[in-house]
Amino acid sequence: MARACTYTVESEFEGQRIDLLLATLNLYRSRSLAARFIEGQRVFVNGNNVSKRYLVAAGDIIVYEKEESPVEQKLFGQPIDLDIRFEDANLLVISKQAGLVCHPSTDHSDGTLVNALIHHCGAENLCNVQGGDDRLGIVHRLDRDTTGLMLAAKTNEAGYALMDGIRERSIERHYLALVHGNIAHDTGMIDAPITRSPSDRTKMTVLDNSASREAITTFSVIERFEASTHDDGYTLIDCKLFTGRTHQIRVHMLYIKHPCVGDPVYSGGTPKAQIGLERQFLHSYNIEFNHPLSGEKMRFSDKLPEDLAQALRQLSSRSMGRTEYGQPLELF
């Protein structure tokens, strides 16, 4: 349950970033939590949404939402399967399964990746760099039904270093996506800001306003598939993230009119065009980074899970051939 609160900016705070101010005044327990509420369009300045970088002025009227919970639930470990590809004293690389939410929320109080990490590592052996015990170990996220490789951190030092690497784009993250239609160009870049949809708070959208955040995705075509009577064909692509916005690839592909196949939120076309998929065809299949402490170059690859591999097998007879980029890739 949420309640709306009001604060009027005093002159001594003029020129401060709004996320820092909200944390400094203990209106939120941390700067990152304040940023999450701002980005979720749950903070207003003089009646308008702003970005977390907004510099406040004396007299600004800030209306902000605060969650009220009558009972504080303590996080606990749960024996949830983790497909761990690498682990040391500082970090883990895991392959996340479909259906696993990364951290607790209003709709998912337990059964999350955080619960699994607490069971595996112990809460005292996980970083806390995202502004709350509900995000222990988390440095970045995958959507619930997006599968594949992601990082988790054990120490705060590693956690901050990995978050810096993502922000500074030194960590390379590549995804496989099957999208509707044939993309004509073999490569492309989508540079379009993303914010929460003003008409549906459960969705994100491309929109250029003060609350929008920079979002950049590049793609390379791997393989195209011919159209049929039930669809307009498909394109298998490699997407590289340069930013990490909520639903970024899914929103960007919808924006260029090639939504991800099977996407229950952003997809289009008839049920038959979804080729049996009940979740988005989106898989984090490659990640490269320098170890935050040793500096060692690390690279991990993850083949498609069976449901996505089966969808591609269905289309194999309609293949128009692999591109040069796609030739060497082993997908399943």
Catalytic sites, residue numbers:
143
Q: What is the set of domains in the chain, with CATH numbers?
A: 2-67 (3.10.290.10), 83-167 (3.30.2350.10), 172-288+303-322 (3.30.2350.10)
Q: Are strands 147-153 and 282-290 parallel, antiparallel or unpaired?
A: parallel
Asked if 305 and 194 count as a contact pair (C-beta separation under 8 A), the reply is no
Rounded to two decimals, what is the model's pTM? 0.79
pLDDT at 2: 63
Q: DSSP string covering 208-241, please?
A: -STT-B--EEEEEEEEEE--BTTBS-EEEEEEEE
pLDDT at 68: 58
Which helix (H) or strand (E) element contains residue 218? strand 216-225
Amino acid code (one letter) for 200: D
pLDDT at 212: 86
Radius of gyration, CA atoms only, the chain: 21
pLDDT at 199: 80
**pLDDT digit string, tens, across residues 243-258:** 989 899 999 999 999 9
> Could you tell me which residues come within 8 angstroms of residue 181 by beta carbon, excluding any fewer than 6 positions away?
232, 233, 234, 235, 257, 258
pLDDT at 71: 43
| Segments of the chain scoring below 50 in pLDDT | 70-71
